[in-house]
């Protein structure tokens, strides 16, 4: 169970705020005028080239309305073009050297016991160590520490809105968990865990041996279903280890029963005091589940949906990751705390985890394509309903709403439906889905039209995305490349492949390693626990790695695999958190991406291989190849060309100047 580590209280309207508001009023038109209203729709992964193509084809008429009345163009993304990094650039106006987010994964060199490569952790949050504690019999009670803290540094742009007395609502802003609590209303987004503290882990119960014999299922759990006399008894586990018991591996679960109809493809699910009747192929509504931590004293509430995949032949029951229940949140997912519940009461329970589209379920064969698209549509319906509810009741100021469905669906479907040369493309299987991605763009075009028809003439509407998209054809293992180019050594009897965590690496003679999709670290003496590279040799080694990476050619295509290399001190300009980042970030050529195996310290026999996974689209390569999108309903007073200078441009609409925009390096305090 996580709690907000700290909250910045809403500021009272002070003399300074009143003066700032007066200044804004003067800048926006003189006596009697008011601050403008701005709506920003953040559509993750909306690709500039495809958007332009669909506008020109007449398929996005409302985007065209924006383009004709305002502006349309590419929006420079971040280094690297990963969503946590890109959105942090937007939020703070700084690059990673300032805000401290460089990748989805960072590594912790201070955690005990020390590992040669550090402990990998999710970059957007960090857990504070437990301080004082009390043990009573078999129970353990932390009295201080043990909280989850937001790991993004820097001042979010809506702080300046608050200082000027301008109301703000931010729904699912990425890299904002726990919410900083500065806006009038904030709901956390990317970075928000499920109830168990993970990015989201599904549960699947099946009688199909081919399913439950799968090992090391990342992003989920597959269990055998033993059905006795038409009844299945199951357990949902919120936590693998109860934080309040001395005993280790004391899982926290909630039991449920499934009664299978002997004649019809129907089942009844009973969980707590709730009963559900589902047809085969049907989704349940959200239901609550209570998980007891300390008997009669403490429990946490979660929420799940069931999907009855099959009851005839093999039984299959999918359960969503256990959500922090928005109607009874045990963790800080909104500011004020009541905001999450107000949304739930208005539009129904909803996914609270960071990226709810279950791409892991399709990767592990639990969902087929149609089931994945249905589940993604359920998440999209929730976020759309919430946005429409907020828009109808919005009284002005600043409104931001984030939508992640385009990004997650594109990750699965882009290469399979838009690239006939993709290694996993099969015409008869994938051609029926050729309109999936364009139809998603059309859905959001409809939402833009809905907004335009309801907003006042003086409201500025902004459509933005953090990066574009492309087909991921070839998978590049950075750790294997380091090994084959003499930068990483293996112990004498080690053979490839290495599954994960650098098993068999000889750290005594290794110069560099990779943790994360495109990050390289030197095995630096005095920094890494078993460092070998002398600090005085660091700069020359970095330049040598850059030359060798840029010279690497794919033997299959004869094309370069890396088109840009970013060195930490040279290519990041803001300061304060530079040391968090890798020594090198690799800008892969379009179509090539760092492998997931390498990201967690694995090595394969070959550096490059075809990508045949159910994750066919990507954007984690040379950022110049995957710009985002910027559409505005009127020309901005201050032009914006990148994520890093967009927030400053939006603040200029309110007459607020001085926010970082990338033009001048910023150094921030690290505490």
Average pLDDT over residues 325-353: 96
Kindly list the structural domains of the chain, giving each domain's residue range(s) and its CATH number in brackets, ordered by start. Answer: 195-330 (no CATH), 474-610 (3.30.1360)
For 404-415, the pLDDT digits (tens) are 999 999 999 999
CB atoms within 10 A of CB 226: 12
18 pLDDT band, cuts 50/70/90, is: very low
| Strand residues in 266-393 grouped as ranges (E) | 266-271, 274-279, 287-294, 298-304, 306-310, 316-319, 323-324, 334-335
Cis before 80 (ω within 30): yes
CA geometry: angle 214, 219, 222, nearest 5 deg: 35
Q: How confident is the model at residue 330 (pLDDT cuts 50, 70, 90)?
A: confident
Q: Stretch 307-329: mean pLDDT, rounded?
A: 96
Average pLDDT over residues 599-603: 95
Kindly report the number of other CB atoms within 10 A of residue 208's CB atom: 18
Mean pLDDT of 90-107: 96
Q: What share of the chain is helix, strand, coil (3-state, %, to 5)?
A: 25, 25, 45
**Residue 391 scores a pLDDT above 50:** yes
pLDDT, mean of residues 335-346? 97
pLDDT at 72 over 60: yes
21 pLDDT more than 50 = no
Q: How many CB atoms neighbour CB 246 within 10 A?
A: 12
Dihedral (CA of 174, 176, 179, 181) sign: negative
The helix (run of H) or strand (run of E) holding residue 359 is helix 359-363
The token duo for 104 is 């989805």
pLDDT, position 355: 95
As a whole number, the mean pLDDT across the chain is: 92
Segment 149-158, tens digit of pLDDT: 999 999 999 9
What count of other Cβ atoms lies within 10 Å of the Cβ of residue 472?
27
**What is the Cα–Cα distance from 448 to 79, expressed in whole angstroms?**
29
Rounded average pLDDT over 636-665: 97
**Residue 31 CB neighbours (<10 A):** 6
- Give the largest Cα separation in the chain, rounded: 80
- pLDDT for the residue 25: 35
For residue 26, pLDDT over 80 is answered with: no
- The predicted pLDDT at position 30 comes to 32
Which tokens in the block code for residue 146?
A: 């043990």
Q: How confident is the model at residue 339 (pLDDT cuts 50, 70, 90)?
A: very high
Q: Write down the pTM of the prediction.
A: 0.92
How confident is the model over 446-465, as pLDDT tens digits?
Answer: 999 999 999 999 999 999 99
Q: Which of 41, 43, 46, 42 is nearest to 469 (CA)?
A: 46
Task: Report d(CA 450, CA 609) in Å as an integer.
Answer: 45
Report cis status (omega within 30 of 0) of the bond before 292.
Answer: no
313 or 408, greater pLDDT = 408
pLDDT digits (tens, 9 = 90+) for 196-236: 999 999 999 999 988 877 777 889 999 999 999 999 999 99
Residue 642 CA to residue 78 CA, distance in Å, equals 8
Q: For residues 28 and 43, give the distance between their C-alpha atoms in angstroms, rounded to a whole number.
A: 28
Distance CA 407, CA 617 (A): 9
Q: Are 124 and 101 in contact (CB under 8 A)?
A: yes
29 confidence band (pLDDT: 50, 70, 90): very low
570 has pLDDT over 70: yes
Q: Give the confidence band of 34 by pLDDT, cuts at 50, 70, 90.
A: low
Model pLDDT, residue 3: 30
For residue 254, pLDDT beyond 90: yes
What pLDDT sits at residue 670? 64
Given a cut of 70, is residue 389 above it in pLDDT? yes
Model confidence at 671, pLDDT cuts 50, 70, 90, reads low
Helix (H) or strand (E) holding 54, with range, is helix 48-56
Of residues 104 and 296, more confidence is placed in 104
Separation CA 545–CA 346 (nearest Å): 55
């Amino acid at each position: 169970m996580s709690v907000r580590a700290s909250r910045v209280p809403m500021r009272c309207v002070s003399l300074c705020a009143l003066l700032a508001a007066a200044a804004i009023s003067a800048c926006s038109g003189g006596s009697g005028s008011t601050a403008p209203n701005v709506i920003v729709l953040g559509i993750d992964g909306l690709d500039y080239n495809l958007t332009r193509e669909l506008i020109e084809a007449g398929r996005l008429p409302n985007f065209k309305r924006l383009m004709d009345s305002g502006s349309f163009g590419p929006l420079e993304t971040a280094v690297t073009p990963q969503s946590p990094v890109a959105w942090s650039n937007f939020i703070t106006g700084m690059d990673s050297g300032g805000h401290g987010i460089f990748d989805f994964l960072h590594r912790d060199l201070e955690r005990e016991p020390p590992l040669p490569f550090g402990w990998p952790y999710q970059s957007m949050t960090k857990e504070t160590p437990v301080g004082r504690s009390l043990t009573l019999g078999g129970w353990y009670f932390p009295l201080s520490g043990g909280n989850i803290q937001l790991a993004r540094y820097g001042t979010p742009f809506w702080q300046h809105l608050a200082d000027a007395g301008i109301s703000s609502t931010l729904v699912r802003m990425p890299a904002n968990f726990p919410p900083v609590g500065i806006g009038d209303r904030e709901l956390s987004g990317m970075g928000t865990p499920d109830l168990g503290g993970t990015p989201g882990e599904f549960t699947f119960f099946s009688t199909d041996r081919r399913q439950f014999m799968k090992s090391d299922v990342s992003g989920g759990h597959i269990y055998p279903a033993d059905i006795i006399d038409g009844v299945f008894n199951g357990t949902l586990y919120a936590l693998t280890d109860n934080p309040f018991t001395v005993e280790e591996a004391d899982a926290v679960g909630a039991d449920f029963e499934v009664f299978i109809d002997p004649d019809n493809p129907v089942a009844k699910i009973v969980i707590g005091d709730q009963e559900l009747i589902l047809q085969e192929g049907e989704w349940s509504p959200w239901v609550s589940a209570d998980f007891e931590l300390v008997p009669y004293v403490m429990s946490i509430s979660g929420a799940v949906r069931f999907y009855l995949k099959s009851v005839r032949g093999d039984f299959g029951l999918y359960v969503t990751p256990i959500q922090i229940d928005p109607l009874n949140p045990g963790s800080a997912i909104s500011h004020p705390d009541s905001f999450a519940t107000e949304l739930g009461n208005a539009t129904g329970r909803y996914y609270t985890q960071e990226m709810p589209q279950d791409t892991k379920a399709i990767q592990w064969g639990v969902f087929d394509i149609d089931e994945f698209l249905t589940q993604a549509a359920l998440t999209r319906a929730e976020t759309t309903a919430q946005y429409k509810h907020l828009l109808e009741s919005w009284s002005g100021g600043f409104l931001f709403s984030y939508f992640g469905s385009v990004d997650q669906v594109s990750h699965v479907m882009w290469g399979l439906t838009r690239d006939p040369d993709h290694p996993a493309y099969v015409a008869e299987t994938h051609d029926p889905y050729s309109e999936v991605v364009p139809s998603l763009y059309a859905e959001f075009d409809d939402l833009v039209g809905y907004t335009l028809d309801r907003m006042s003439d003086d409201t500025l509407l902004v459509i933005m995305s953090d990066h574009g998209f492309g087909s991921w054809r070839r998978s590049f293992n950075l750790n294997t490349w380091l090994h084959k180019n003499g930068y990483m050594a293996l112990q004498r009897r080690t053979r490839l492949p290495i599954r994960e965590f650098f098993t068999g690496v000889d750290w005594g003679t290794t110069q560099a390693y990779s943790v994360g999709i495109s990050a390289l670290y030197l095995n630096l003496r005095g920094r890494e626990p078993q460092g070998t590279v002398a600090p005085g040799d660091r700069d020359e080694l970095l330049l040598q790695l850059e030359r060798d990476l840029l010279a690497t050619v794919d033997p299959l295509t004869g094309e370069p695999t890396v088109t840009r290399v970013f060195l930490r001190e040279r290519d990041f300009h803001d300061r304060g958190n530079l040391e968090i980042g890798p020594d090198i970030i690799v800008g892969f050529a379009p179509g090539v991406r760092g492998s997931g195996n390498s990201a967690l310290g694995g090595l394969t026999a070959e550096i490059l291989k075809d990508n045949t996974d159910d994750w066919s689209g990507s954007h984690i390569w040379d950022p110049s190849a995957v710009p985002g999108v910027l559409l505005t309903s009127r020309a901005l007073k201050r032009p914006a060309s990148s994520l890093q200078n967009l927030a400053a441009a939006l603040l200029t609409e309110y007459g607020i100047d001085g926010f970082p925009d990338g033009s001048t390096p910023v150094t921030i305090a690290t505490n």
